[in-house]
RNA sequence: GGCCCCGUCGUCUAAUGGCUAGGAUCCCGCUCUUUCAAGGCGGUGGCACGGGUUCGAAUCCCGUCGGGGCCA
């Protein structure tokens, strides 16, 4: 397939959501696979609802996903004259007509060109009722529409702006688009557009209609389903590669049971004909899994870069502080945000102990306090504050007290983090630092003694 | 309402008309382990339904039902 040219044509009336992103992604993969061009067109003819902010959001989203485009952006708002000329040409050919809506009426009526002068008229395309319009969709195969089922449709509104149907065809033609890859919701538009191509004597592109993306309730994905904006996923701590991988697999499979597929391999494996036909539900759990896989594939240095903005949001700007957390949480985090959430006790005091943890590990307060005191005094003596040596001390204390190491480990964890789970305790203690650990142990011992005094005066 | 698209585990998907319908995720066990996670092992779970074609159907055809989309 030579000289493939595809495009993504969002309208800047909203941010880029994951459905649009997936359409862009498939266009991009198709272009890259065939060594063709991926173009971008901003469909901003809805002047009232289009904003530069949204255009910005869309471009940022695409950049973040690595969906680089070729050639310059096309803005429909700068091409209004061309649409008007084409519409006029269709009228001249008798294939479209002026349509006037009298005051108070909802339907317009055809008027002759002479009569149209000075009136606010729309232009409608005259659908040949006896014709059959068919095309072969790259994904769905042969699709047939009957002309009689299609009503004459507006191509130019009375305010002088083109409708979607006209603008798409004119632009796709003048941009030399060879393959129109878009959402399934455009299937009913296709025959109308084909009629315009025919009327103008333009060569038809190939069409491929992608399945929809649904929410968990199987309804078309929308704001109601929570985060749908691409940049929102970035904010939530998803990696660009992970969202890319996830979206690519939503409706397409590279075969051979592949799940984690790097971008370059994706390009060589991508085949539009293997895209599925059925709508796919956006499954956050799978995204989370893919994200966690990509997090684990990152080097610590790469993660440091990625984590900076998330930590600075909570006031942590010390690289070294972040760096030492990375190995601790790398295989426990599903999102970048998790690093921050899971390591709170590094930056905040422990003010309370997990309720279930207290029941389990602080059950006999005085007994636990005394064990912790032994640990405390041994740890105070420890010069070389490394995970290995800390472990030696703790296990040594366990042995001398004749209790299992777990009897010390769990209470220590609860004391120094307030939580019952987390990274390996000794690495955690090393990372927290001697002073912090000792202080938190002292505080826990005090807490336990108070608790023991009021609890059970046996 | 008219037209169009679609229907394989809960979810994402694989399966030239031919082995006990495969993988991933989720969930549940077991294992490893100081906990959690990661890892390893195992398990529950699916061809929407009914006809036909065929030696043989998830796969082809028809119908029903269900879901979705566009237009009104």
A211-241 pLDDT, tens digit per residue, is 999 887 777 776 666 657 999 999 999 999 9
Q: How distant is C1' of B21 from CA of A202, in Å? A: 47
pLDDT in tens, A77-125: 899 999 999 999 999 999 999 988 887 777 888 888 887 777 788 999 9
Mean pLDDT (chain A) is 90
Q: What percent of chain A has pLDDT over 90?
A: 64
Length of chain A as a residue count: 458
Tokens 């949001």 belong to residue: A313
Q: Is A142 exposed, middle or buried (0-12, 13-18, 19+ CB in 10 A)?
A: exposed
- Whether the CB of A281 is less than 7 Å away from nucleic strand B comes out as yes
The confidence score (pLDDT) of residue A458 equals 47
Residue A325, SS3 per DSSP: helix
- What's the token pair of residue A221? 């994905």
Higher pLDDT pick, A222 / A35: A35
d(CA A369, CA A445): 5
Residue A232 CA to nucleotide B4 C1', Å?
A: 34
| Amino acid A97 CA to nucleotide B12 C1' distance, rounded Å | 48
Give the pLDDT band (50/70/90) at residue A456.
Answer: low
Looking at residue A354, its pLDDT comes to 85
The nucleotide minimizing the C1' distance to residue A107's CA is B72
pLDDT grade for A453, boundaries at 50, 70 and 90? confident
pLDDT value at position A351?
85
Token pair belonging to A454: 């009021």
Find the mean pLDDT for residues A398-424: 90
With CA of A283 and C1' of each nucleotide, the nearest comes out as B11
Q: Which of A119, A189, A185 is nearest to A154 (CA)?
A: A189
Domains A5-72+212-285 and A298-342 share a fold: no
Beta bridge partners of A229: A17
A119 or A133, which is more confident: A133
Q: Which residues in 166-225 of chain A line strand B, with CB less than 7 A from it? A: 184-185, 187-189, 211-212, 214, 218-220
CATH architecture for segment(s) A79-210: 3-Layer(aba) Sandwich (3.40)
Range with the poorest average pLDDT among A116-120, A137-141, A213-217, A251-255? A116-120
CATH of range A355-455; options 1.10.150.120, 3.40.920.10, 1.10.10.350, 2.102.10.10: 1.10.10.350
Is residue A300 within 8 Å of residue A327, measured between CB atoms?
yes
Phi, psi of A297 (to 5 degrees): -80, -15
Predicted local distance difference test score (pLDDT) of residue A450: 84
Query: Comparing C-alpha atoms, which of A280, A209, A216 is closest to residue A246?
Result: A280
Q: How far is the CA of A18 from the C1' of B24 (A)?
A: 21
Q: Is the CB of A63 under 7 A from strand B?
A: no
Q: Is residue A223 among the annotated active site residues? A: yes
Q: Quick check: A410 and A420 in contact, CB under 8 A?
A: yes
pLDDT number for residue A116:
73
Please state whether strand B lies within 7 Å of residue A12 at its CB atom.
no
Answer whether residue A140 shows pLDDT above 80.
yes
Phi-psi label, residue A94: left if phi above 0, alpha if psi -120 to 50, beta otherwise: left
Is the CATH number of domain A5-72+212-285 3.20.20.70?
no
Q: Which of A346, A350, A298 has the alpha carbon at shortest distance from A322?
A: A346
User: pLDDT at position A355, please?
Assistant: 84
CB neighbour burial string for A311-345, b if at least 16 within 10 angstroms, e if fewer: beeeebeeeeebebbbebbbebbbbbbbbbebbeb
pLDDT of residue A225: 65
| pLDDT at residue A407, as a whole number | 87
A296 touches strand B (CB under 7 A): yes
User: Please, which pLDDT band fits residue A178 given cuts at 50, 70 and 90?
Assistant: very high
A257 touches strand B (CB under 7 A): yes
Q: Which of A120, A151, A219, A223 is catalytic?
A: A223
- Domain extents in chain A: 5-72+212-285, 79-210, 298-342, 355-455
pLDDT number for residue A362: 83
- Residue holding tokens 């173009």? A39
ipTM of the complex: 0.91
Distance CA A331, CA A339 (A): 10
Residues 360-419 of chain A with CB under 7 A from strand B are 405-406, 409-410, 413
Cβ contacts of residue A279 below 8 Å, gap of 6+? A184, A211, A212, A213, A214, A218
How confident is residue A1, by pLDDT bands cut at 50, 70 and 90? low
What would the pLDDT profile of A348-384 be if each residue is shown by its tens digit?
888 888 888 888 888 888 888 888 888 888 888 888 8
* CATH code, residues A298-342: 1.10.8
Between CA A118 and CA A176, with CA A122 as vertex, the angle to 5 degrees is 120
Contacts of A435 (CB under 8 A, 6+ apart): none
**Pure H helices in A298-386:** 300-312, 319-329, 336-342, 355-361, 365-381
Chain B bases near protein Cβ (<7 Å)? 2-8, 10-15, 22-26, 34-38, 67-71
The residues of A between 115 and 154 with beta carbon within 7 Å of nucleic strand B are: 140-141, 143-146, 149, 151
């Amino acid at each position: 397939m030579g000289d493939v040219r595809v495009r993504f044509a969002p309208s800047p009336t909203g941010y880029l959501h994951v459905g649009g992103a997936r359409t862009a992604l498939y266009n991009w993969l198709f272009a890259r696979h065939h060594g063709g061009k991926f173009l971008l067109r901003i469909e901003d003819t809805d002047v009232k609802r289009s904003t530069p902010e949204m255009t910005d959001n869309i471009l940022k989203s695409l950049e973040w996903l690595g969906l680089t485009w070729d050639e310059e952006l096309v803005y429909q708002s700068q091409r209004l004259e061309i649409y008007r000329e084409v519409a006029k040409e269709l009228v001249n050919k008798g294939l479209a007509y002026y349509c006037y809506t009298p005051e108070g009426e909802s339907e317009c009526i055809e008027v002759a060109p002479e009569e149209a002068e000075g009136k606010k008229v729309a232009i409608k395309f005259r659908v040949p009722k006896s014709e059959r319009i068919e095309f072969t969709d790259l994904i769905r195969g042969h699709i047939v529409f009957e002309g009689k089922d299609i009503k004459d449709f507006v191509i130019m509104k009375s305010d002088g702006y083109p409708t979607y149907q006209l603008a798409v065809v004119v632009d796709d033609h003048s941009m030399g688009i060879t393959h129109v890859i878009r959402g399934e919701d455009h299937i009913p538009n296709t025959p109308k557009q084909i009629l315009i191509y025919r009327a103008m004597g333009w060569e038809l592109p190939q069409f491929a209609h992608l399945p929809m993306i649904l929410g968990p309730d199987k309804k078309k994905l929308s704001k109601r389903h929570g985060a749908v904006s691409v940049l929102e996923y970035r904010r939530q701590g998803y990696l660009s590669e992970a969202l890319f991988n996830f979206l690519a697999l939503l409706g397409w499979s590279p075969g051979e049971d592949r799940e984690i597929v790097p971008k370059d391999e994706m390009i060589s494996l991508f085949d539009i004909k293997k895209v599925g036909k059925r709508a796919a539900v956006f499954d956050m759990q799978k995204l989370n899994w893919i994200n966690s896989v990509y997090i684990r594939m990152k080097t610590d240095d790469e993660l440091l870069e990625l984590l900076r903005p998330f930590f600075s949001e909570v006031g942590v700007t010390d690289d070294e502080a972040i760096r030492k957390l990375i190995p601790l949480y790398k295989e426990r985090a599903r999102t970048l945000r998790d690093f921050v959430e899971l390591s709170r006790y590094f930056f905040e005091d422990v003010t309370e102990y997990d309720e279930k943890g207290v029941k389990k590990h602080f059950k006999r307060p005085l007994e636990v306090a005394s064990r912790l005191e032994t640990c405390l005094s041994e740890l105070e003596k420890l010069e070389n504050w490394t995970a290995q040596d800390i472990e030696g001390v703790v296990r040594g204390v366990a042995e001398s007290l004749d209790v299992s190491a777990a009897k010390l480990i769990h209470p220590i964890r609860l004391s120094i983090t307030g939580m019952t789970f987390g990274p390996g305790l000794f690495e955690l203690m090393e990372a927290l630092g001697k002073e912090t650990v000792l202080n938190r142990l002292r505080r826990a011992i005090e807490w336990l003694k108070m608790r023991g005094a009021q609890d059970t005066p046996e």
